[in-house]
Amino acid sequence: MNEPRRVLVLNGPNLGRLGSREPDIYGATSYKGLVESCRALGEELGFDVEVRETNDEGEMIRWLHEAADGSLPVVLNPGAFTHYSYGMRDAAAQRTAPLIEVHISNPYAREEFRHTSVVAAVATGTVAGFGIGSYRLALRALAEELGS
């Protein structure tokens, strides 16, 4: 039996506040619920999913470097970093495995400043607008990309 493939699910600013942060936009699922959902589906797909969250841009960049150095697939919800963090974008561009950008809401249905993603051009693909289901769709896309 094959050992599960390690996958990082990386979350940017304010995502640790899921469930209490603007539930009309981000839903009622807590961050803990997100973690559990990602790990459970990951197990079904043959992944060892590690979910992380940070409000620190430098930490996110270090995690992306770790993923590149280890050829680790990534599901990335950059949060607000999406729209302006060129450092994070440059770290994501160094990827050595698929990287799927994820958003809980549909950025194009929101404020104009949210319509630009500096990450999209260096990501394998983007999933947005399906609530917490965006993470499930991204994990399934990773499984297809990796031939799992």
From the list 31, 103, 115, 135, the catalytic residue is 103
DSSP tag of 113: G
Ordered strands of the 74-77 beta sheet: 47-53, 5-11, 74-77, 99-103, 125-128
Q: Binding residue per annotation — 37?
A: no
Nearest C-alpha neighbor of 49 from the set 12, 3, 99, 8: 8
Residues 6 or more apart whose CB falls under 8 angstroms from that of 111 comprise none
Return d(Cα 86, Cα 9) in angstroms, integer: 20
Q: Binding residue per annotation — 106?
A: no
26: annotated active-site residue:
yes
Q: Binding residue per annotation — 83?
A: yes
Q: Binding residue per annotation — 61?
A: no
Annotated binding site: 77, 83, 90, 104-105, 114
Residues labelled as active-site residues: 26, 103
Annotated binding site for substrate: 77, 83, 90, 104-105, 114
